[in-house]
A and B are shown apart, each in its own frame.
Chain A
Amino acid sequence: MTDAVMIPRRAGHALRWTGAALVAASLILAVVGPLAVPGDPLAQSLTKALSGPEPAAPLGYDHLGRSIFHRLAAALRLSPAIAIAAVLTAGLAGLVLGTWAAARGGWTDRILTMLADALLALPGLLLVLMVLAIVPGTAPGFWAGLSLVLWVEFFRLTRAATRAVLASPAVQATRLLGFGPVYVFRTHIWPEIAPMMLTAAAFGTATAIMAIAALGFVHVGMRAPTPELGLMMVELLPYWREAPLALLSPVMATFALLLGLTLLAGSRDT
């Protein structure tokens, strides 16, 4: 894209910093929150059901009298942890396969591209659902399913960028000067794809967190009583009138986290 199309540099930087701040804030809530206010996300006390905030439970209690603050903190550790694990797996697989396909060409490239194209035609949630039905255990199932969905984007980016770089005069010149593939990767390919990888990783993390929450919300993801963002929302939805803060907490936290990741990723659309 030409410069005229891009968002002005400084505005872009400000947006990225805002995004980083939002992500950092939710991670601090998830990790530091329970240390500051100790509590158990699973402990029920039905007498406190739907009651408001108090020092031991800064966001009040849900319909079973569990502390929403501690459930939210646990949920904000669970989905990002699965998401990051899946993104790391997918990123590594996509990077290796993408570079390999671009460097080898021929049938290696053709078969990997065909596989990626076929996966691209399938809705990610559908693949995750099917993998969940195959792999025992919900968290490993999400990790496997999301990795399967997410590697395609990393693969396509890496392959396209590597192909372009390898065909460039710069790489031709470097090879004529007697350098080998490791030097070419280090000086030509990696500097081109590293920023793309970061953007794709932020988008991938957002996608994964959305998927876990969406499936939790329609009762086919994480199972109760696990604290999970989508599951918390659907559990608290019937009590909206009695305890709006109870429902708004996971809604706002999810939105802030996803917005943060979207801003962090920058202006590229996927």
Chain B
Amino acid sequence: MTLLKADDITVAQGGTPILHPVSLHLEPGEPLVILGETGSGKSLLAQAIMGTLPRDLAARGRVVLGDHLLDAARPEGFRPLWGRQIAVLPQEPWLSLDPLMRAGRQVTEAHHLVRGLGTQDARAQAATDLDRLGLAHADTRYPHELSGGMAQRVAIAAARAGGAGIVIADEPTKGLDAARRDEVADLLLAELARGGGLLVITHDLALARRIGGRMIVLRAGRVVETGPTAAVMAVPTQAYTRDLIAADPENWPARSRRPAGAPVLTATRLAAGRGGVRLFSDLSFDLSAGRILGVTGPSGCGKSTLGDVVLGLAPPAAGRVNRSAGLAPTAFQKLYQDPVAAFPRHRTLGRTLADVAHRHGQPRDRIDTLLPRLGLNPVLLTRTPGGVSGGELQRLALLRLLLVRPRFIFADEPTSRLDPITQKQVIDLLRDTAAAEGCAIMLVSHDPELVARTADHVLSLAPAKTGGDLSGQAVKRAGGLG
């Protein structure tokens, strides 16, 4: 029996369609993945099916949920189904729990108020739920005392407490590292195994592959391709789907080793900590022009701190970094995770870039020659940082660095907020930069596949305080994930 059937769902903003008719159905035990990049309309589709669209967006279409027949144009009708038929998993579990209420109570109240259990029974049932998810000890904790993964499991318990059979998860792995991403996928599949249906909305190919089932690929508000997930991922029939899958770091070609240039820096027995916890120690390496050093490891392991120490932005707890003689003070530069936050907010990009060119005695036309090389349209220079896309801005940030003629670039998760295809473009440009400019790059990423296929050497930092000793050009895996 079909759990949920949606026919010809459309979404429009002020009369302009932003999601063209999509139909889907959800079967018991078979997950459905909606895959798309930012702006593809995948979240709008989910919101239209749940009746949670923002007020300025209008949906149309028909949703059949068990024996309920609903009109997507009247979202009020969906309200009684929330928690009872549909369980919605939020994007950011940490922000989805009431910060002033203990975890256990947030599950208990759903059992009590939604399912109608008595106070005692509700509490007992909540304790059972949390125990099943391995959270028995989290009962009396407040959300800020939970890890992201624990918060996610509490949110799942709370969302399903009302007895809903269908789970809808919107970008459940946003901002998670590889290990945590797989955990979430397994958790969702475990929920599916308890009966009911699962709808996952994501841009993450690895998550889609792990969830399996069937897949709908969306692009710019239209369906590109549908079919069994494994089949679509193995043999995509549409050009866009092929590009999307080719952009997955797992499918990138491996990097061919390049000859090393002149040495740029030497790090000797570095150590650093944060808040009294030792992040790494006894870390030694050196880096030459044209080489890319990849640094990977789980969140909080000190990847970014290491980069800041090398740049001299943070002091090391021990050890030192020696820059090669004769380098300008501005020869060491940084590419940021969030490019919007790395530019002056109120200045046009053209003025910012002109200021940098002027400061470093570069001719004005250097910007004009670099723009096409980075695939950028000159019209972007008239805008402020908030007015261009993340991928464009990251390339503009790279352009800004090139005006300084850097010898070393610390790229701190430069693509973690970008869609897969854009991510590939930016990483390719970074590789070209290392080769063309003879520049050493330290690339930090939480994605081991990306690092493995981009870098000449890989440094894996362990989650705990163990460190590795890397000497010379040799690559040594320094504990942890390696």
Task: Assess A/B contact in the complex (Cβ within 8 A).
Answer: yes
Chain A contacts to B: CB under 8 angstroms: 168-170, 172-174, 176-179, 183, 187-188, 191-192
A-B pairs, 3 with minimum CB distance: A191-B346, A178-B330, A187-B344
CA distance A2 to B341 in the complex (A): 17
CA distance A174 to B332 in the complex (A): 12
Contact call A173/B355, Cβ cutoff below 8 A: no
- Selected from B332, B338, B352, B400, the residue in CB contact (under 8 A) with A169 is B338
Contact call A177/B344, Cβ cutoff below 8 A: no
Q: A178-B360, A178-B404 are in contact. Are A169 and B344 (CB under 8 A)?
A: no
Contact call A173/B334, Cβ cutoff below 8 A: yes
Contact call A176/B344, Cβ cutoff below 8 A: no
Contacts of B313 in A (CB 8 A): 172, 176
Contacts of A191 in B (CB 8 A): 344-347
Chain B contacts to A: CB under 8 angstroms: 311, 313, 329-330, 332-334, 336, 338, 341-347, 352, 355-356, 359-360, 400, 404
CA distance A178 to B352 in the complex (A): 13
Contact call A170/B343, Cβ cutoff below 8 A: yes
Q: Can you give 23 contacting A-B residue pairs, CB < 8 Å? A: A168-B341, A169-B338, A169-B342, A170-B344, A172-B334, A172-B342, A173-B334, A173-B336, A173-B343, A174-B344, A176-B313, A176-B332, A176-B334, A177-B330, A177-B404, A178-B330, A178-B360, A178-B404, A187-B347, A187-B352, A191-B346, A191-B347, A192-B346
What's the minimum C-beta distance from B397 to chain A, rounded to whole angstroms?
8
- CB-CB nearest in chain A for B352: A187
- CB-CB nearest in chain B for A179: B359
- CB-CB nearest in chain A for B347: A187
Contacts of A183 in B (CB 8 A): 355
What's the minimum C-beta distance from B91 to chain A, rounded to whole angstroms?
15
What's the minimum C-beta distance from A198 to chain B, rounded to whole angstroms?
15
- Selected from A169, A176, A178, A192, the residue in CB contact (under 8 A) with B341 is A169
Q: A177-B330, A177-B400, A178-B359 are in contact. Are A169 and B336 (CB under 8 A)?
A: yes
What's the minimum C-beta distance from A239 to chain B, rounded to whole angstroms?
54
- CB-CB nearest in chain A for B341: A169
Contact call B329/A170, Cβ cutoff below 8 A: no
Most buried by B among A177, A179, A183: A177
- CB-CB nearest in chain B for A188: B344
What's the minimum C-beta distance from B196 to chain A, rounded to whole angstroms?
33
CA distance A169 to B308 in the complex (A): 12
- CB-CB nearest in chain B for A173: B342
